[in-house]
Protein backbone atom coordinates (compact mmCIF):
# COMPACT_ATOMS: atom_id res chain seq x y z
CA UNK A 1 0.00 0.00 0.00
CA UNK A 2 0.98 3.61 -0.33
CA UNK A 3 2.48 5.01 2.86
CA UNK A 4 -0.05 7.36 4.26
CA UNK A 5 2.50 9.35 6.18
CA UNK A 6 4.55 10.07 3.08
CA UNK A 7 1.65 10.96 0.88
CA UNK A 8 1.06 14.60 0.37
CA UNK A 9 -2.48 15.15 -0.67
CA UNK A 10 -2.51 17.70 -3.44
CA UNK A 11 -4.77 20.57 -2.67
CA UNK A 12 -7.20 19.87 -5.44
CA UNK A 13 -7.79 23.47 -6.28
CA UNK A 14 -4.13 24.41 -6.43
CA UNK A 15 -3.57 21.58 -8.84
CA UNK A 16 -6.12 22.95 -11.23
CA UNK A 17 -4.03 25.82 -12.53
CA UNK A 18 -2.24 23.42 -14.76
CA UNK A 19 -4.09 23.76 -17.98
CA UNK A 20 -5.01 25.81 -20.91
CA UNK A 21 -6.41 24.75 -24.19
CA UNK A 22 -5.12 24.49 -27.66
CA UNK A 23 -6.84 22.56 -30.36
CA UNK A 24 -5.87 19.00 -31.02
CA UNK A 25 -7.90 16.87 -33.30
CA UNK A 26 -7.97 13.23 -32.57
CA UNK A 27 -6.97 10.56 -34.98
CA UNK A 28 -9.21 7.59 -35.07
CA UNK A 29 -7.58 4.71 -33.15
CA UNK A 30 -7.78 1.27 -34.61
CA UNK A 31 -10.30 -0.82 -32.71
CA UNK A 32 -7.58 -2.56 -30.72
CA UNK A 33 -8.63 -3.99 -27.43
CA UNK A 34 -6.79 -1.88 -24.93
CA UNK A 35 -6.33 -3.18 -21.41
CA UNK A 36 -6.24 -0.83 -18.44
CA UNK A 37 -4.82 -3.65 -16.37
CA UNK A 38 -1.78 -4.04 -18.62
CA UNK A 39 -1.67 -0.25 -18.83
CA UNK A 40 -1.14 0.10 -15.11
CA UNK A 41 2.05 -1.94 -15.18
CA UNK A 42 3.23 -0.24 -18.35
CA UNK A 43 2.67 3.24 -16.89
CA UNK A 44 4.72 2.19 -13.91
CA UNK A 45 7.52 0.93 -16.12
CA UNK A 46 7.51 3.62 -18.80
CA UNK A 47 6.07 6.82 -17.40
CA UNK A 48 6.54 6.90 -13.62
CA UNK A 49 10.15 8.03 -13.93
CA UNK A 50 8.72 11.45 -14.69
CA UNK A 51 4.99 11.27 -13.86
CA UNK A 52 3.99 10.19 -10.35
CA UNK A 53 1.28 7.53 -10.71
CA UNK A 54 -0.26 7.51 -7.22
CA UNK A 55 -3.75 8.60 -6.41
CA UNK A 56 -3.97 10.95 -4.60
CA UNK A 57 -0.91 12.16 -6.49
CA UNK A 58 2.37 12.70 -4.74
CA UNK A 59 4.13 15.88 -5.77
CA UNK A 60 7.66 17.05 -5.12
CA UNK A 61 9.89 20.03 -5.71
CA UNK A 62 12.07 18.02 -8.01
CA UNK A 63 9.43 16.30 -10.11
CA UNK A 64 10.16 16.18 -13.82
CA UNK A 65 6.51 16.35 -14.88
CA UNK A 66 3.04 16.75 -13.44
CA UNK A 67 1.56 13.60 -11.87
CA UNK A 68 -0.38 11.35 -14.21
CA UNK A 69 -3.52 12.10 -12.21
CA UNK A 70 -3.20 15.80 -12.97
CA UNK A 71 -2.40 15.21 -16.62
CA UNK A 72 -5.43 12.96 -17.02
CA UNK A 73 -8.00 15.04 -15.19
CA UNK A 74 -7.02 18.15 -17.10
CA UNK A 75 -7.04 16.47 -20.46
CA UNK A 76 -10.46 15.00 -19.71
CA UNK A 77 -11.67 18.37 -18.61
CA UNK A 78 -10.51 20.02 -21.74
CA UNK A 79 -11.83 17.47 -24.17
CA UNK A 80 -15.34 18.61 -24.62
CA UNK A 81 -16.87 16.29 -27.16
CA UNK A 82 -20.38 16.52 -28.51
CA UNK A 83 -20.89 12.80 -28.09
CA UNK A 84 -19.59 11.75 -24.62
CA UNK A 85 -19.21 8.17 -25.77
CA UNK A 86 -16.31 9.34 -27.97
CA UNK A 87 -14.38 10.90 -25.15
CA UNK A 88 -12.40 7.87 -24.11
CA UNK A 89 -11.43 7.12 -27.68
CA UNK A 90 -10.35 10.70 -28.26
CA UNK A 91 -8.33 10.71 -25.07
CA UNK A 92 -6.51 7.53 -26.05
CA UNK A 93 -5.75 8.91 -29.50
CA UNK A 94 -4.33 12.09 -28.01
CA UNK A 95 -2.01 10.21 -25.67
CA UNK A 96 -0.87 7.88 -28.45
CA UNK A 97 0.03 10.86 -30.56
CA UNK A 98 1.44 13.21 -27.92
CA UNK A 99 3.87 10.80 -26.29
CA UNK A 100 5.54 10.14 -29.64
CA UNK A 101 5.17 13.64 -31.11
CA UNK A 102 5.02 16.07 -28.22
CA UNK A 103 5.15 19.75 -29.00
CA UNK A 104 4.62 23.11 -27.40
CA UNK A 105 1.80 23.73 -29.83
CA UNK A 106 -0.12 20.56 -29.03
CA UNK A 107 0.42 20.66 -25.29
CA UNK A 108 -2.51 21.58 -23.09
CA UNK A 109 -0.05 22.66 -20.43
CA UNK A 110 -0.30 26.33 -19.49
CA UNK A 111 2.72 28.43 -20.56
CA UNK A 112 4.08 28.86 -17.02
CA UNK A 113 4.08 25.12 -16.29
CA UNK A 114 5.47 24.36 -19.72
CA UNK A 115 8.34 26.69 -18.94
CA UNK A 116 8.99 24.97 -15.61
CA UNK A 117 8.84 21.44 -16.93
CA UNK A 118 9.84 21.93 -20.53
CA UNK A 119 8.08 20.06 -23.32
CA UNK A 120 7.96 16.32 -22.74
CA UNK A 121 10.78 14.49 -24.55
CA UNK A 122 9.42 12.16 -27.23
CA UNK A 123 9.23 8.56 -26.09
CA UNK A 124 9.58 7.28 -29.64
CA UNK A 125 11.16 3.84 -29.71
CA UNK A 126 10.49 3.29 -26.00
CA UNK A 127 6.80 2.51 -26.17
CA UNK A 128 4.54 1.07 -28.87
CA UNK A 129 1.13 2.34 -29.97
CA UNK A 130 -0.51 -0.73 -28.48
CA UNK A 131 1.24 -0.08 -25.16
CA UNK A 132 0.23 3.57 -25.26
CA UNK A 133 -3.34 2.50 -25.88
CA UNK A 134 -3.20 0.32 -22.78
CA UNK A 135 -1.60 3.11 -20.73
CA UNK A 136 -4.14 5.69 -21.90
CA UNK A 137 -7.01 3.30 -21.12
CA UNK A 138 -5.58 2.88 -17.63
CA UNK A 139 -5.24 6.63 -17.19
CA UNK A 140 -8.74 7.32 -18.41
CA UNK A 141 -10.38 4.63 -16.31
CA UNK A 142 -8.40 5.31 -13.14
CA UNK A 143 -7.92 8.99 -12.65
CA UNK A 144 -10.95 11.13 -12.09
CA UNK A 145 -12.15 13.53 -9.45
CA UNK A 146 -14.73 11.20 -7.95
CA UNK A 147 -12.21 8.40 -7.63
CA UNK A 148 -9.79 10.90 -6.13
CA UNK A 149 -12.31 11.94 -3.49
CA UNK A 150 -12.95 8.29 -2.73
CA UNK A 151 -9.24 7.64 -2.40
CA UNK A 152 -8.81 10.60 -0.08
CA UNK A 153 -11.72 9.44 2.06
CA UNK A 154 -10.27 5.95 2.20
CA UNK A 155 -6.88 7.31 3.25
CA UNK A 156 -8.51 9.38 5.95
CA UNK A 157 -10.45 6.38 7.18
CA UNK A 158 -7.31 4.24 7.29
CA UNK A 159 -5.29 6.96 8.97
CA UNK A 160 -7.64 6.88 11.94
CA UNK A 161 -7.20 3.15 12.50
CA UNK A 162 -4.48 1.68 14.75
CA UNK A 163 -1.40 0.91 12.63
CA UNK A 164 -1.81 -2.89 12.89
CA UNK A 165 -5.39 -2.57 11.56
CA UNK A 166 -4.18 -0.48 8.64
CA UNK A 167 -1.97 -3.36 7.60
CA UNK A 168 -4.67 -5.99 7.99
CA UNK A 169 -7.06 -3.95 5.87
CA UNK A 170 -4.62 -3.34 3.06
CA UNK A 171 -2.70 -6.63 2.98
CA UNK A 172 -3.67 -10.26 2.53
CA UNK A 173 -2.47 -11.61 5.93
CA UNK A 174 -5.87 -12.82 7.02
CA UNK A 175 -6.38 -14.86 3.87
CA UNK A 176 -3.93 -17.34 5.40
CA UNK A 177 -3.87 -16.41 9.08
CA UNK A 178 -7.58 -15.83 9.47
CA UNK A 179 -8.29 -19.36 10.61
CA UNK A 180 -7.86 -22.17 8.16
CA UNK A 181 -5.47 -24.73 6.87
CA UNK A 182 -2.91 -22.43 5.31
CA UNK A 183 -1.14 -20.92 8.29
CA UNK A 184 -1.10 -20.80 12.10
CA UNK A 185 -3.48 -18.21 13.52
CA UNK A 186 -1.98 -15.00 14.88
CA UNK A 187 -3.17 -16.07 18.35
CA UNK A 188 -1.13 -19.30 18.06
CA UNK A 189 1.92 -17.35 16.91
CA UNK A 190 1.50 -14.93 19.80
CA UNK A 191 1.27 -17.80 22.21
CA UNK A 192 4.48 -19.34 20.92
CA UNK A 193 6.62 -16.19 20.97
CA UNK A 194 5.01 -13.73 23.38
CA UNK A 195 6.45 -10.25 23.93
CA UNK A 196 9.95 -11.65 24.46
CA UNK A 197 9.81 -13.02 20.90
CA UNK A 198 8.55 -9.84 19.31
CA UNK A 199 11.78 -9.33 17.30
CA UNK A 200 11.30 -12.74 15.69
CA UNK A 201 7.77 -11.81 14.72
CA UNK A 202 8.98 -8.59 13.13
CA UNK A 203 11.68 -10.47 11.29
CA UNK A 204 9.22 -13.01 9.92
CA UNK A 205 7.00 -10.27 8.54
CA UNK A 206 9.93 -8.38 7.07
CA UNK A 207 11.81 -11.34 5.61
CA UNK A 208 9.24 -14.10 5.27
CA UNK A 209 9.32 -17.46 7.00
CA UNK A 210 9.32 -21.16 6.31
CA UNK A 211 9.96 -24.36 8.20
CA UNK A 212 8.98 -23.13 11.63
CA UNK A 213 5.49 -24.51 11.54
CA UNK A 214 5.90 -27.93 9.92
CA UNK A 215 2.16 -28.44 9.66
CA UNK A 216 1.93 -25.69 7.07
CA UNK A 217 3.62 -25.91 3.72
CA UNK A 218 3.03 -22.60 1.99
CA UNK A 219 6.09 -20.44 2.61
CA UNK A 220 5.28 -17.02 3.99
CA UNK A 221 6.54 -14.22 1.78
CA UNK A 222 8.31 -11.06 2.92
CA UNK A 223 6.40 -7.82 3.43
CA UNK A 224 8.73 -4.90 2.93
CA UNK A 225 6.30 -2.06 2.41
CA UNK A 226 5.13 -1.47 5.99
CA UNK A 227 6.13 1.67 7.85
CA UNK A 228 8.24 1.15 10.94
CA UNK A 229 5.32 2.11 13.10
CA UNK A 230 3.02 -0.37 11.38
CA UNK A 231 5.56 -3.17 11.68
CA UNK A 232 6.14 -2.56 15.39
CA UNK A 233 2.46 -2.20 16.19
CA UNK A 234 1.51 -5.29 14.21
CA UNK A 235 4.24 -7.41 15.84
CA UNK A 236 3.17 -6.20 19.28
CA UNK A 237 -0.46 -6.96 18.51
CA UNK A 238 0.41 -10.51 17.41
CA UNK A 239 2.79 -11.07 20.34
CA UNK A 240 0.05 -10.04 22.76
CA UNK A 241 -2.36 -12.60 21.39
CA UNK A 242 -4.02 -10.83 18.48
CA UNK A 243 -7.10 -9.77 20.35
CA UNK A 244 -9.50 -7.55 18.45
C1 LIG B 1 11.44 12.15 -19.34
C2 LIG B 1 10.26 12.54 -18.64
C3 LIG B 1 8.91 12.03 -19.15
C4 LIG B 1 8.56 10.73 -19.41
C5 LIG B 1 9.40 9.46 -19.32
C6 LIG B 1 7.16 10.79 -19.78
N7 LIG B 1 6.71 12.08 -19.76
FE8 LIG B 1 4.82 12.72 -20.19
N9 LIG B 1 5.34 14.65 -19.84
C10 LIG B 1 6.58 15.07 -19.41
C11 LIG B 1 6.55 16.50 -19.20
C12 LIG B 1 7.71 17.35 -18.75
C13 LIG B 1 5.23 16.92 -19.49
C14 LIG B 1 4.64 18.35 -19.37
C15 LIG B 1 4.96 19.20 -20.55
C16 LIG B 1 4.18 18.84 -21.77
O17 LIG B 1 2.93 18.92 -21.75
O18 LIG B 1 4.81 18.46 -22.75
C19 LIG B 1 4.51 15.74 -19.91
C20 LIG B 1 3.20 15.75 -20.33
C21 LIG B 1 2.48 14.62 -20.69
C22 LIG B 1 1.13 14.64 -21.16
C23 LIG B 1 0.23 15.84 -21.22
C24 LIG B 1 0.21 16.56 -22.52
C25 LIG B 1 -0.70 17.76 -22.44
O26 LIG B 1 -0.73 18.50 -23.38
O27 LIG B 1 -1.40 18.00 -21.44
C28 LIG B 1 0.76 13.34 -21.39
C29 LIG B 1 -0.58 12.83 -21.89
C30 LIG B 1 1.90 12.53 -21.08
N31 LIG B 1 2.93 13.34 -20.66
C32 LIG B 1 1.91 11.16 -21.15
C33 LIG B 1 3.02 10.37 -20.86
C34 LIG B 1 3.01 8.92 -20.89
C35 LIG B 1 1.78 8.07 -21.21
C36 LIG B 1 4.27 8.50 -20.59
C37 LIG B 1 4.80 7.07 -20.53
C38 LIG B 1 4.68 6.33 -21.77
C39 LIG B 1 5.08 9.69 -20.37
N40 LIG B 1 4.27 10.79 -20.52
C41 LIG B 1 6.43 9.66 -20.08
C42 LIG B 1 7.69 14.26 -19.21
C43 LIG B 1 7.74 12.87 -19.37
C1 LIG C 1 0.01 -17.15 1.62
C2 LIG C 1 -0.29 -17.33 3.03
C3 LIG C 1 0.23 -16.30 4.02
C4 LIG C 1 0.03 -14.93 4.01
C5 LIG C 1 -0.73 -14.12 2.99
C6 LIG C 1 0.71 -14.43 5.19
N7 LIG C 1 1.29 -15.45 5.87
FE8 LIG C 1 2.28 -15.30 7.64
N9 LIG C 1 2.70 -17.29 7.55
C10 LIG C 1 2.22 -18.17 6.61
C11 LIG C 1 2.74 -19.50 6.88
C12 LIG C 1 2.48 -20.75 6.08
C13 LIG C 1 3.53 -19.38 8.05
C14 LIG C 1 4.37 -20.47 8.71
C15 LIG C 1 5.75 -20.37 8.11
C16 LIG C 1 6.75 -21.25 8.78
O17 LIG C 1 6.48 -22.44 8.90
O18 LIG C 1 7.84 -20.73 9.14
C19 LIG C 1 3.47 -17.98 8.44
C20 LIG C 1 4.11 -17.46 9.55
C21 LIG C 1 3.97 -16.19 10.02
C22 LIG C 1 4.55 -15.69 11.24
C23 LIG C 1 5.38 -16.50 12.24
C24 LIG C 1 6.76 -16.76 11.75
C25 LIG C 1 7.56 -17.58 12.75
O26 LIG C 1 8.75 -17.32 12.84
O27 LIG C 1 7.02 -18.44 13.43
C28 LIG C 1 4.17 -14.38 11.35
C29 LIG C 1 4.52 -13.41 12.47
C30 LIG C 1 3.37 -14.06 10.19
N31 LIG C 1 3.26 -15.18 9.40
C32 LIG C 1 2.78 -12.84 9.93
C33 LIG C 1 2.13 -12.50 8.76
C34 LIG C 1 1.66 -11.17 8.44
C35 LIG C 1 1.73 -9.98 9.38
C36 LIG C 1 1.11 -11.24 7.21
C37 LIG C 1 0.56 -10.10 6.38
C38 LIG C 1 1.35 -8.89 6.33
C39 LIG C 1 1.21 -12.61 6.75
N40 LIG C 1 1.84 -13.33 7.71
C41 LIG C 1 0.74 -13.08 5.54
C42 LIG C 1 1.42 -17.88 5.55
C43 LIG C 1 1.02 -16.61 5.19
What pLDDT was estimated at residue 117? 94
Higher pLDDT, 81 or 66: 66
What pLDDT was estimated at residue 19? 37
Same domain, yes or no, for 135 and 174? Answer: no
Q: How confident is the model at residue 26 (pLDDT cuts 50, 70, 90)?
A: very low
Total domains in the fold of the chain: 2
What pLDDT was estimated at residue 180? 78
Same domain, yes or no, for 200 and 85? Answer: no
Same domain, yes or no, for 140 and 174? Answer: no
pLDDT (average), residues 46-75: 94
- Kindly report whether the peptide bond that precedes residue 56 is cis, defined as omega within 30 degrees of 0: yes
Same domain, yes or no, for 217 and 142? Answer: no
pLDDT (average), residues 28-47: 84
Domain range for 108 is 12-149
The DSSP string of 137-188 is HHHHHH--HHHHHHHHHHHHHHHHS-HHHHHHHHSSHHHHHSSSSSS--HHH
> Which residues form ligand 1's pocket by a CB distance below 6 Å?
46-47, 49-51, 64-65, 71, 75, 95, 98-99, 102, 107-109, 114, 117-121, 123, 127, 135
| 7 belongs to a structural domain | no
Distance of alpha carbon 20 from alpha carbon 36, whole angstroms: 27
Name which residue sits closest to atom 39 of ligand 2, judged by CA: 173
Same domain, yes or no, for 45 and 93? Answer: yes
Distance of alpha carbon 49 from alpha carbon 8, whole angstroms: 18
Sequence-distant (≥ 6) Cβ neighbours of residue 52 within 8 angstroms = 58, 59, 60, 63, 67, 68, 69
Residues 68-88 pLDDT 10s: 999 999 999 887 788 888 899
Which of 97, 121, 149 is the C-terminal boundary of a domain? 149
pLDDT tops 50 at residue 13 = no
Name which residue sits closest to atom 10 of ligand 1, judged by CA: 120
Contact predicate 79/91, CB 8 Å:
yes
Nearest atom (ligand 2) to Cα of 175 = 5
Same domain, yes or no, for 33 and 96? Answer: yes
What pLDDT was estimated at residue 110? 84
Q: Give SS3 for 209.
A: strand
Report angle CA 16, 21, 27 to the nearest 5 degrees: 120
Residue 194 CA to its chain's centroid (Å): 36
pLDDT (average), residues 151-158: 94
Same domain, yes or no, for 60 and 138? Answer: yes
**Ligand 2 pocket residue status of 189, Cβ below 6 Å:** yes
Which of 94, 127, 149 is the C-terminal boundary of a domain? 149
Taking all residues of the chain, what is their mean pLDDT, rounded to a whole number? 87
What pLDDT was estimated at residue 27? 40
What pLDDT was estimated at residue 32? 59
Same domain, yes or no, for 166 and 145? Answer: no
Same domain, yes or no, for 108 and 171? Answer: no
What pLDDT was estimated at residue 82? 86
Distance of CA 217 from the midpoint of ligand 2 (Å): 11
What pLDDT was estimated at residue 169? 96
Distance of CA 6 from the midpoint of ligand 1 (Å): 24
What pLDDT was estimated at residue 16? 37
Sequence-distant (≥ 6) Cβ neighbours of residue 45 within 8 angstroms = none
- Top mean pLDDT of 12-26, 54-68, 119-133, 172-186 is at 119-133
Q: How confident is the model at residue 172 (pLDDT cuts 50, 70, 90)?
A: very high
Distance of alpha carbon 97 from alpha carbon 182, whole angstroms: 49
pTM metric for this prediction: 0.66
| 61 belongs to a structural domain | yes
**Ligand 2 pocket residue status of 173, Cβ below 6 Å:** yes
Name which residue sits closest to atom 30 of ligand 2, judged by CA: 205
pLDDT tops 90 at residue 154 = yes
Residues 98-147 pLDDT 10s: 999 999 998 888 888 889 999 999 999 999 999 999 999 999 999 998 88
Residues 179-213 pLDDT 10s: 878 999 999 999 999 999 999 999 999 999 999 99
Backbone angles phi, psi at 20, to 5 degrees: -150, 170
Domain CATH code at residue 39: 1.10.760.10
Amino acid sequence: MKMISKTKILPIVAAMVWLSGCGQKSQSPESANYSAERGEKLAQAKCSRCHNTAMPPVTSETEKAPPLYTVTVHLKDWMKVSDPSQKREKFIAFVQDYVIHPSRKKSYCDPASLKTYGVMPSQKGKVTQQELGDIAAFMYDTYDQMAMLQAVKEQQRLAKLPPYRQVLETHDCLLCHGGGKLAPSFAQIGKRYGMQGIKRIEEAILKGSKGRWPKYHTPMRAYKDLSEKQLEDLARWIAQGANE
